Amino acid sequence: MSMTESRTTANQGKNAVPAVLDIRDVSVLYSGKAAVKNVSCKILKNRITAIIGPSGCGKSTLLRSLNRMNDFVDGVTIEGEILFTDQNLYSSDVDPVEVRRRIGMVFQKPNPFPKSIYNNISWGPGINGYNGSMDELVERSLTQAALWEEVKDRLHESALNLSGGQQQRLCIARALAMEPQVLLMDEPCSALDPISTAHIEDLMFELKSRYTIVIVTHNMQQAARISDFTAFMEMGNLIEFGETDQIFTRPNIKRTEEYVTGRFG
């Protein structure tokens, strides 16, 4: 593990970019069984970090531990610490609700509320006491998610009438409306067709300037296309973490090379 850590530091030394999330020796256990084992890495500001690996490698579990969405799983325990602006997300004086307000999430399957398009966006800011102009916030969020033009004339129709790709962009807009510092995306394109996927990838490029993005994907081409950093996980271990270019062209570890060249997974 110390090897991984030293490599991580070496890679990031080159970039004078601050880390938004500092994952330190984190293990996630379900009823005592480790799904994520002693993972350490840094998530840099305004960068896209991709987590790749075969099914069941713990990538989604790791992602969900970054905004305390694992709290709802029965029998989950987390060891190690995750520093977010120098505060451990898991220290006892941290309010998980506040964490999720700042670290947003987009899920694998689009999950709009069975409410209108407008209310899907305004719901989160509404319950959190947003006191600016809600109309402007809705327009801004939908514009950022590249959905505004398609839905501006039917904001009060049910979100369930949208196509899958539109629903996923709506979910992104919903997360953006909270103006989060970090956006976590759990295989956001796995339920979408290639055109919608391209839409969302373009969108991520644009969002990068304002947000820090962590994306879990089982699609290696996607990771190679969009991310700046890539973490490769297998069986709960972080095998290698580095700049995406390096991971895909000159991986340091044999297992990484085998995975990114498609020899297993």
Partner 1 sequence: MATNSPTNSSIRKLNKRWGEFMIKSWLVVCSALSLITTAAIVILLVVESFSFFQNVSPSEFFFGTRWVPILEPSSFGVLPLLWGTLQVTIGAALIAIPLGLASAIYLSEYASDRMRSWVKPALELLAGIPTVVYGYFALTFITPLLRNIFPEIQVFNALSAAIVVGIMILPTIATLSDNALRAVPESLRQAAYAVGATSYEVTTRVVVPAGLSGVMASFLLAISRAIGETMAVTLAAGQTPNLTLSMFESIQTMTSYIVQISLGDTPAGGVAYQTLFAVAALLFFITLIINIISQLILERFREVYD
Q: Name the residues that contact partner 1, by CB under 8 A.
A: 67, 69, 72, 74, 97-98, 100-101, 104-105, 107, 109, 111-114, 123-124, 127-128, 160, 171, 174-175, 177-178
> Nearest distance from residue 261's CB to partner 1, in Å?
34
Phi, psi for 154 (deg, rounded to 5):
-140, 45
Count other Cβ atoms within 10 Å, centred on residue 200: 23
166 and 199 in contact (C-beta within 8 Å)? no
Residue 146 is inside which H or E element, if any?
A: none
186 or 243: whose CB is closer to partner 1?
186
138 or 177: whose CB is closer to partner 1?
177
Residue 37 is inside which H or E element, if any?
A: strand 33-44
C-alpha span between 126 and 123 (Å, rounded): 5
Phi, psi for 54 (deg, rounded to 5):
-65, 165
> Nearest distance from residue 197's CB to partner 1, in Å?
20
Radius of gyration from C-alpha coordinates of the chain: 18
Dihedral of the alpha carbons of 209, 215, 217, 219, in degrees to the nearest 10: 10
> Nearest distance from residue 96's CB to partner 1, in Å?
9
123 or 148: whose CB is closer to partner 1?
123
Q: Rounded to the nearest 5 degrees, what angle is found at the Cα of 98, between the Cα atoms of 93 and 104?
A: 135
176 or 239: whose CB is closer to partner 1?
176
> Nearest distance from residue 126's CB to partner 1, in Å?
9
> Nearest distance from residue 222's CB to partner 1, in Å?
22
> Nearest distance from residue 213's CB to partner 1, in Å?
15
- Helix, strand, or coil here: 111? coil
End-to-end CA distance of the chain: 22
Amino acid at residue number 31: S
| Residues present in the chain in total | 265
96 or 265: whose CB is closer to partner 1?
96
> Nearest distance from residue 38's CB to partner 1, in Å?
26
